Structure 1
Amino acid sequence: MDQVLDRRKEEEHSDFKFISDSMIDIYDSIMRIEESEIRKSRFKDVTAKELHLIHAIGLHAHKTTSEVANYLKLSKGTLTANINTLERKGYVKRVPNQVDRRIINLELTDKGRILFRAHSAFHSALVKSVLDGFSDDNVEIIEQVLKRLLGFIDEVSDK
């Protein structure tokens, strides 16, 4: 009986290690691929961090600086510095809010929208490759796992 329990603990440890290592490898690989693809594209002047900021602003949302800062969990000062850079590079523009001129909305320029669409296409291909061959039930389980993981990340990052 003890051998069965010891073996199960070993298997659980192995599963845990595989999942932990895989999460790290996946994150690192995606970041490396994004950086590499950016360097090969016409968008060489953008970093992966700036790319994710462009993605957070979105195509048509006209988000405020506060909304983007909260979403990315950045200070307003850090966001302002990054927006200044992206504005100078021609990807983002600040637009005064029509209702309250004290509020600044962020919009992507045409150049920013093209980059956004290219980044979205990459992520779409990535998701399709992950889900290919899974049943709807399995996809629901994957969604539940990811929601749980995102909930944990939100919980930890809010501390």
Structure 2
Amino acid sequence: MYTKKMETTDILIKIRKIVRSVDIESKKIQKEHGVSIPQVLCLSFLHESPNYQSTQGEIRKYLNLNPSTVSGIINRLEKKGYLARLPKTGDKRVVNITLTSSGDKLLSTIPSLLHEQLNEKLLQLNENELATVEAGLNTLVKILDIEKIEASPMITLDPELEANSDQ
């Protein structure tokens, strides 16, 4: 006999598996490569940007994080030598954030992130399957009353984001 209690327990277990997988990935990347998931995403954005550079504002828009969080990410990556700040040619007031060769080398050693894998799999779903996934997630967000919580399009449990999420 399959009861409503068993169904809800199964749902909670599946959610916990997702959260745990994200936590395990985040800790593994941090331990093996010395960077957080948001830092990897920042480096990846620069890697895909023209001339391997961008502004802090463009990085902030991409990561969908507040300015102080992005500033912290950039500061930590700069200290590690993975990116550099360069004045924009012709306008010294604008600073370009540039991926260094060390940052590019680090990126080549990091495996595909969980959210990238999820995005690829979601793109393979047909419209009905995708609508079903979205409807289920919308229901969860609604019953948890978390519609107003801001979130970036990355899947992470990074303390770097938690520390600055109050803005």
- In structure 1, give the amino acid aligned to 2:27: R
2:113 pairs with 123, 126, 140, which one? Answer: 123
Q: Where in structure 2 are there 5+ consecutive unaligned residues?
A: 152-166
2:95 pairs with 98, 104, 108, which one? Answer: 104
**Counterpart Cα distance in 2 of 1:14 and 1:103:** 53
Percent identity of equivalent pairs:
23
**Counterpart Cα distance in 1 of 2:99 and 2:131:** 29
Quickly say closer, same or farther: Cα 1:157–1:59, change in 2 above 3 A: same
Q: Deviations over 1:63-104 (max 9, x none)?
A: 210121233344334433432332232110123334754332
- Structure exhibiting the larger radius of gyration computed from Cα positions: 1
Report the more deviating stretch, 59-68 or 21-30. Answer: 59-68
**Counterpart Cα distance in 1 of 2:5 and 2:61:** 41
Segments ≥4 residues shifted beyond 4 Å: 98-101, 152-155
Q: Give the structure, 1 or 2, with the largest relative contact order (CA under 8 Å, sep 6 or more).
A: 2
1:58 pairs with 38, 41, 47, which one? Answer: 47
Structure (1 or 2) with the greater helix fraction? 1
Q: Where in structure 1 are there 5+ consecutive unaligned residues?
A: 39-45
1:86 pairs with 77, 82, 85, which one? Answer: 77
**Counterpart Cα distance in 2 of 1:25 and 1:145:** 20
- In structure 2, give the amino acid aligned to 1:94: R
1:156 pairs with 149, 152, 167, which one? Answer: 149
Quickly say closer, same or farther: Cα 1:83–1:16, change in 2 above 3 A: same
Quickly say closer, same or farther: Cα 1:103–1:155, change in 2 above 3 A: farther
Size of the aligned set, in residue pairs, is: 139
1:20 pairs with 9, 15, 20, which one? Answer: 15
Report the more deviating stretch, 72-81 or 83-92. Answer: 72-81
Q: TM-score, normalised by structure 1?
A: 0.61
RMSD in angstroms over aligned alpha carbons? 4.0
Look up the match of 1:9. Answer: 4
Q: TM-score, normalised by structure 2?
A: 0.59
Look up the match of 1:75. Answer: 66
Quickly say closer, same or farther: Cα 1:20–1:99, change in 2 above 3 A: farther
1:9 positional shift: 1.9
Report the more deviating stretch, 52-61 or 10-19. Answer: 52-61
**Counterpart Cα distance in 1 of 2:100 and 2:147:** 30
**Counterpart Cα distance in 2 of 1:60 and 1:84:** 19
